[in-house]
């Protein structure tokens, strides 16, 4: 990868990271404790709130996984290893990196992992 490509990839990864952190901040209240007082919330409303909370918690878990992937890609950029499969060491196709700049493995290793 050229220096310009790395700069573009770094910008993309940092923008995605910032967007994920912003989303986490916006949805923090929805992941909080659900009030169980039936005088303020009816039973069905409380069930909806619990379901919404569970969905937000799972979304946050997935967001954390994606942040780790992005941080790992940024670390590979800093180390000069970006664009190479962490499993086999072969170069990752440019189209694959365009679609997912944080991908750590080539197509062959991804298929083997499935």
For the chain, the structural domain boundaries read 3-82
What was the pLDDT predicted at 38? Answer: 59
Count of alpha carbons within 13 Å of 96, Cβ hemisphere only?
A: 16
- pLDDT value for 39: 57
pLDDT of residue 19: 95
Low-confidence ranges of the chain (pLDDT < 70): 1-4, 31-44
Contact status, residue 21 vs residue 14, Cβ threshold 8 Å: no
Residues whose CB falls within 8 Å of the CB of residue 98, separated by 6 or more in sequence, listed in order: none
Tell me which residue has tokens 């060491």.
Answer: 89
């Amino acid at each position: 990868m050229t220096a310009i490509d790395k700069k573009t990839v770094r910008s993309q990864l940092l923008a995605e990271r910032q967007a994920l952190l912003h989303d986490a901040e916006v949805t923090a209240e929805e992941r909080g404790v659900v009030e169980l007082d039936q005088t303020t919330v009816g039973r069905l409303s409380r069930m909806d709130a619990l379901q919404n909370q569970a969905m937000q918690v799972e979304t946050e878990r997935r967001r954390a996984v994606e942040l780790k992937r992005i941080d790992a890609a940024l670390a590979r950029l800093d180390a000069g290893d970006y664009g190479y499969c962490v499993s086999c060491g072969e170069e990752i196709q440019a189209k694959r990196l365009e679609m997912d700049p944080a991908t750590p493995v080539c197509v062959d290793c991804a298929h083997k992992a499935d």
